Every structure is written in structure tokens, then in C-alpha cells.
Structure 1
Amino acid sequence: MGRHVYRLAAWLCGVALLATAARADEAQTPWGRDYFPNTELVDHNGRTVHFFDDLIKDKVVVVNFIFTGCGDSCPLETARLRQVQQLLGERVGREVFFYSISIDPLSDTPEVLKAYADKFKVGPGWLFLTGEFEQITQLRQALGLFIEGIDNGRNRDHNLSLIVGNQATGRWMKASPFENPWILADQLANSLQNWKQPSGGESYAQAPQIRPPSHGEELFRTRCAACHSLGPTDGQTTGMRAVGPDLLGVTTRREPAWLSRWIREPDRLLAEQDPLALEMFERYNQVRMPNLGLNEADTQALIDFLQAEQDRQLKLSSQQAGTLTLQ
């Protein structure tokens, strides 16, 4: 009995050491070479790499799966990750690495992926990769990013989750492509990269009051803000103002019927060769406005928010101008 208790105590001690270790080598974590396929891939610069040895071993990474012909979720996901890259700055490529792997490798050659990366003006530390379809499917399954019934062989139905993790410590988590970029950046920079460092000692009592957003504002922040700013100061910290036009005043600049349809079905307007849609497509580096699947009620809520924000900022500017005049 005493021998069993001793063995149990020793085992618990070993578990505690593993849980508190700053790093875990391959013998200590199940998330090592034996788990991850060492899939051969080619990056958008034409360089051959292997998934485990070259891309994730001992690194903090973001991995997602896209295809450049996607007209809905992939451009939005790429734009959102570019926001995260901008927030992390020079840490990307040095401490954190981004990998976007094509699920349509027959179409997405390295040259096509390079053009796609250039459209979104991604920085160093982010690779776009292609390879053999069957091997990429196996990699998606190993990462838990292939779901039967959703990933049914048609590109447009692929799982939208991305995975972030620290291979050395064995800490992995799924994330939504619609996640707030500041939250995802914090997970990569702190929760995964410096997970043993204590958080700051600021008091919650000092936190500002936060008003509940309207449905339209929620749609803008989760769907539109990845590519669009809303006013002269919005989006400056993430460097995203070049992806799409600033939307402040758009309800005044565009006809209501056209704006509503452009929000709901931009792909159809482009297919119909709508002159204004084509002009926007060429002006903004041929990045396609994604079809977000919004219904008429969602679209109207979004337009109402854009109008309300325009009115709010105009009022604020007027008040500030009045204050300067009085001074």
C-alpha cells in the first residue's frame, strides 16, 4: 500500500513539473513529430518546406486553410489576420509565424499565392503554401480543421476555424477568423508566447464603461472592420486602411438601393460588370469584396449604423470646432 502511495505521489509530482515547465521537449508533449504530419509544402516564394520540421517545430504559429478563388470567408479571414500581423509588428517572423495553406492546390500555384499575398500587402513571417491535395487533407484532419459533413469536397464549404499554438509547450487552441484582432494578438504574444509571465496589476475598477453595441455596429466590427475603417482615426493602429475604402459618409456618397445590394451580393454585381463595382475592384488592388451572407435585415442594420456613426462624428467635429473658436 505504501509503495503504491509513493508511486502515485511521484507520478503527481512529475505531472506538476510538466504543467509548470517553461518549455516541453518532444518527449514531454504528445504534440510532437509523432503527431503532426511532416507534410511537404511549397511556399509562395517557391521554397519547399516540411510542416513539422520547418514550419511549427519550437514555434508559436497561426495556421489556417484558404483558397484564393474564395469569394466569401477567405478574403475576410486574410484581412483579419493582417490586422493581427500589424498589431504584433516585428514579432511576426521572429517570435510568431503565420501559415495559410491552400485547399485548392491545383489552382493555387506558388505564383498565384504570391499574387494573393501581394494584394493584401502581408509582411514578413507569413507564408502562403500549397502542396498535394490528399496530403493537405490529412494535415487538416490532424489539426482538427476538417469536419465531415462540412468539408465535403467542395472548396466553398470548408471549415472556417484556424488554429494557434506553441508546439514546444504543447498549448494549442482553435480560434474564429472573426475574432477581435486585439484578442488574437494577445493570445499569440502573451498566452502562448510568454504564458508564464504574470499579467499586469491594473485594477478592474479603472476599466472604462462600455456601451452595448447595436446589431449594426456588431456586424461592422466583426465583418467589415477587417478591411474598412470608419473615419480618420479608425483602424490606424492596425494599418488596414489600404485594403478597402473608408466607409465614413458612404450612405451619402452611394445610392441606397445600390449600397444595399453591394453589401448583400458584391460577387453578383461584379459578375454583371456593374461599372461602379468594377471601378472599386480596380481601385483597391483587385481584392474582391466578400459575400458575407447578410440578409436584408442585417444589411439595413449595418447601413443604419454607418449613418448613425456619420452623424455622430459630424456632430463631434462641429463641437470640437466650436471649442477651438471659443478658445
Structure 2
Amino acid sequence: MFQMLRSAAIAVTVFMTVMVWGSLTGVAGETPSATPWGQDFFPNTVLINQDEQPVHFYDDLIKGKVVVINFIFTSCTDSCPLETARLRQVQRLLGDRVGKDVFFYSISIDPETDTPAVLKQYAAKFKVAPGWQFLTGNKDDIVELRRKLGLFIEGVDNGRTTDHNLSLIVGNQTTGRWMKASPFENPYILADHLGNSLQNWKVASEHLDSYANAPDVRAPSLGEQIFRTRCSACHTLGHEGEEATGLRGVGPDLLGVTRQRDGLWLGRWLKEPDVMLAEKDPLAMSLYEAYNKVAMPNLRMADNDIAEVVQYLQEETDRQQPVTHMAGDDMHAGHEGYAGHEGHHMQ
């Protein structure tokens, strides 16, 4: 499954595989009737948010707004936590604009389980800020809404498993510009589209830098690609830590993890964290408790993918914190990131 998810993410390209439902006509300020993607297209489904408030999908949630919409379920142990963690990063980048000129909506595909109280607790686990609504409702209505948004795959979403379409929908209802986006995209790119280009897409960029002056870009290793598309939703890595990016991770900074954890334990933690938690592995449980009981998702990684990620983490640790062998010194001295916290985990 991980290979499938990674292939899907790569297919999305640098930002998104675009599905534009409307011709890109209209500018900000036009009435909903100026685009075919108005009240005659979108259902006005009644949903209930985490504060037990009823809302209408079209009238209250998307009409005249720039939005990002995804579908999750709180008992998900793989993709949903990563989507939520990634959007949390985007929310932090947009700051107080969320809830004012950009709106976030996560709708449950398991409404029988995901009551408003459960959704409120889920949002609290990820320390979601105001302006992001988590929603539930009638299951048949939600299925129909997913179909209308192009986020329902026959044979997958209506199968016996909990597999579901992993795309996000981002768009501006006023202009009629709607697109699918990868939930594993770089948070800065998602934030830029939501905060800038979707606000008024006809305004040309003021940045006129030439591609001729662009620096050479180093090709990332497979381990780095996996880290950036999966792990970085919850973790930072040394120079990419909170102080540098402003994005605090759901889990710890991972610089030094390969020096601090037994290799066999770390490999198994990456392969089957859900099993280790079910077995109540002492270290796994202590990490789960230390990080707000947000469980490490199972990324369904193959053994070679795990080896590549571990190698990348080791290389970055060695690059950023070279080991110096000095008499009387602990070789791990100064490794604050991961080692300096008992509760740190690969989450």
C-alpha cells in the first residue's frame, strides 16, 4: 500500500494533479451564478461540526470562500493522521487567515463512530487552531457529497476495507476554480495556493526572477523523498526544525534518532507501530503517552523503504552533528534534538 501511496503522490507532480471542473472564468466578487459550480451543482448537505452545530455544505461552508476539504476517519491508523498533520502545518503557515479568508473542512467517512465529541477530541490531539471544522453527518449524504466532489472511487471507497481516496479538494467557489491536491504536498506550496493564487488567480505574480538564475537543485535520495512526503508531516529534522521553519511537529525532531534507538527496534517501529502499540511495547507506550496519544501511523513501508529512511536519518545526523572523539567526552554530547527528550519517538 505504501508503494501505491508513494506512486500516487509522485503522480500528483510538484503541487497537484489538477482537476478543474469549470472553465477558469470570473473574478473575485462575482455572484455564484457567474460560474456553473454554484448552488445548482453543490448539494446543500446538512453536516454537524465538532461543536455540535448544524451547518449546510453550500450555504455555510463553501459559498463565496476559498476552502480546503478532505475526508478522514478518526480510527484511521495510516493516511488520515498524516493528512491532518500536514494540514496542521498549512494552517500554522496561514495563521489567523484561517477562518477569515481561507477555510478548512475535514469530513468523516465513518459518521457512526465519529460523533462531534470524538471529532473534537481528535482535533485537540493535533492541537488544531480555530477556523478548521471537523464534520460528521448522515453517511449516505456524505457518500453523495464525496461523489459530487470527485473524491469517491468505485470499488475502493465502497469496498469492505477502509481504503479511501487520499486527495484533497482546494478551491474558490466564487471563481469556480477547483483542484485536487495531494495531502502529502509541501505545506508551503499548499499555503501559497490557498493564501495567494486562489484568492485572485488572474493577478500576475510580481516575482520576475529568471529561471536562468535559478540554482542547481540536488536530486533527493529515496530515503529523503519518503521523509519529505510522509515523515515531515509530523517530524522535523535538525536544520528543518521549528526554529528554522516555524512548523512545530506533532512528533519530535528526529535528528539523532539512529544514534539513540536500537536499530532492530527502530526498524520494527517504522514497519508496524500499530502492532507494537497493541502489544504494549514499553517504549512505544511511553512515546504514545508523551505525544498527546497521537499514534504513530502505519505507513505500510517495505523493508527496503525502511532501510532507505533510516540511512537518510543517519546521514543527516552525521552531516549536521558530526561525531568528535575527544577524551572524556560522551560521543553523544550535544545531541539535543532527539536524545534530549525521554519521550521522543518516530511518529
Q: TM-score, normalised by structure 2?
A: 0.83
Correspondence for 2:112 = 106
2:212 is the alignment partner of 1:205 = yes
Give the gaps of 5 or more residues in structure 1.
1-16, 319-327
Correspondence for 1:127 = 133
1:5-54 per-residue CA deviation (whole Å, 9 max, x = no partner) reads: xxxxxxxxxxxx98354443222211100111101011011111000000
Q: Which letter maps to 2:241? A: D
Whether contact under 8 Å (1:163, 1:174) holds in the other structure is yes
Separation in 2, partners of 1:240, 1:277: 24
2:42 is the alignment partner of 1:36 = yes
Whether contact under 8 Å (1:243, 1:284) holds in the other structure is yes
Q: Which letter maps to 1:223? A: R
Correspondence for 2:182 = 176
1:283-314 per-residue CA deviation (whole Å, 9 max, x = no partner) reads: 00000111111100000000000000000001
Q: Which letter maps to 1:228? A: H
Separation in 2, partners of 1:197, 1:61: 19
Instruction: Name the structure with the higher helix share.
Output: 1
2:284 is the alignment partner of 1:277 = yes
292-301 or 235-244, which moves further after superposition?
235-244
Aligned length: 302
Correspondence for 2:196 = 190
Separation in 1, partners of 2:249, 2:210: 37
Q: Look up the SS of the partner of 2:123 in the other structure.
A: helix
Q: Which letter maps to 2:150? A: G
- Of 221, 230, 237, the match for 2:228: 221
* 1:239 shift after superposition: 4.3
253-262 or 17-26, which moves further after superposition?
17-26
Correspondence for 1:68 = 74
Correspondence for 2:163 = 157
Whether contact under 8 Å (1:104, 1:155) holds in the other structure is no
Whether contact under 8 Å (1:83, 1:239) holds in the other structure is no
Separation in 2, partners of 1:316, 1:80: 32
Aligned positions of 1:230-269 closer than 5 A: 230-231=237-238, 233-236=240-243, 239-269=246-276
26-35 or 195-204, which moves further after superposition?
195-204
* 1:185 shift after superposition: 1.1
- Of 290, 303, 319, the match for 2:297: 290
Whichever of the two has the greater Rg, that structure is 1
Q: Stretches of 4+ moved more than 6 A in 1?
A: none
Whether contact under 8 Å (2:27, 2:200) holds in the other structure is no
Whether contact under 8 Å (1:67, 1:103) holds in the other structure is yes
Q: Considering only aligned residues, what root-mean-square deviation do their CA atoms show, in Å?
A: 1.9
Correspondence for 1:4 = none
Correspondence for 1:83 = 89
1:191-210 per-residue CA deviation (whole Å, 9 max, x = no partner) reads: 21121222122233333322
- Inter-CA distance 230–173: structure 2 relative to 1 (3 Å threshold): same
Separation in 2, partners of 1:178, 1:238: 17
1:230-288 per-residue CA deviation (whole Å, 9 max, x = no partner) reads: 11652446544341011100001110001001011100100111011101100000001
Separation in 1, partners of 2:94, 2:33: 31
Separation in 2, partners of 1:74, 1:80: 10
Whether contact under 8 Å (2:172, 2:199) holds in the other structure is yes
Percent identity between the two aligned chains? 64
Higher RCO (C-alpha under 8 Å, 6+ residues apart): 2
Whether contact under 8 Å (1:43, 1:127) holds in the other structure is yes
